Amino acid sequence: MPTLRPRFQVTETPEVERALRAAARAWPGAGRAELVSHIFERAAATLEEEERDRAGEWRATVDLTEGALDVAYEPGYLENLRAEWPE
């Protein structure tokens, strides 16, 4: 099919064959090019979801630890420390 978009080749390794077989079961009757597109779409969605989950876990950790050191330093600690430094 003519296209202006870049193309690439993929060697049909055992991992690629496994992915194509799984895709063929999920989308019976789809051609190989369509199966590859489905695989890429599903993989991208999964990776994006994992990325969102990691970001959410990071935010939750930051929220959990927010203010944890408030009791370690008295009010004005940073200002007092800075006052000791020569300019």
- Window from 17-21, 44-48, 64-68 with minimum mean pLDDT: 64-68
Give percent of the chain above pLDDT 90.
71
* More confidently predicted of 67 and 31: 31
pLDDT of 13 over the 80 cut: yes
pLDDT of 8 over the 90 cut: no
Distances (CA, A) of 24 to 1, 32, 34: 21, 8, 10
- Domain locations in the chain? 14-83
Burial class (CB in 10 A: 0-12, 13-18, 19+), 22: middle
CA 70 to mean position of chain CA atoms: 32
CA 12 to mean position of chain CA atoms: 26
| pTM for the structure as a whole | 0.66
